[in-house]
Amino acid sequence: MLSCRKKDKIVKRDNEPDVHILSGEDNEMNTAIENAQKSLYKFKEAIESHNPNYYNFALKEKFNTAGSGAEYIWISRVEYFDNKFYGIVDDDPISTMEVKLGDTIEVNPQNITDWMYFDKKIVKGAYTTKVLRKRMSQQERTQMDKEIGATFENE
């Protein structure tokens, strides 16, 4: 996802998630990012708990693009040790040159914009994804739930 304004454009990619082109004027998305940042402690508590019902830990990180833009990319297979998050770049970037698909990185805590994990078949967190889901049709949301094999908490 690039920047944060109401959906202007969706870039469809083969075998990759769609990219939503947004700008900084989307108050709903900016609030979601703030809520994710304020509640990051819940993600940390969950990952440190080693609860066998918790899996698919992921963080969304902001990366710089040409000019003053930003691209937001999910980092999967997140692990936490030595007070740092590490994971694998899970999307093929379209604008940033800072990372590429499959890179193992240390996540910059100042650039975390969302988090999620699965608790059995319930997706926890995913604040920015929930904003995008509200803008989807019911059919699109149902298809997404079917593809991931889970439903989103508080939705």
118-124: average pLDDT:
97
Confidence label for 10 from pLDDT (cuts 50, 70 and 90): low
Cβ contact 90:76 at 8 Å = yes
What DSSP designation does 90 have?
A: -
pTM of the model: 0.84
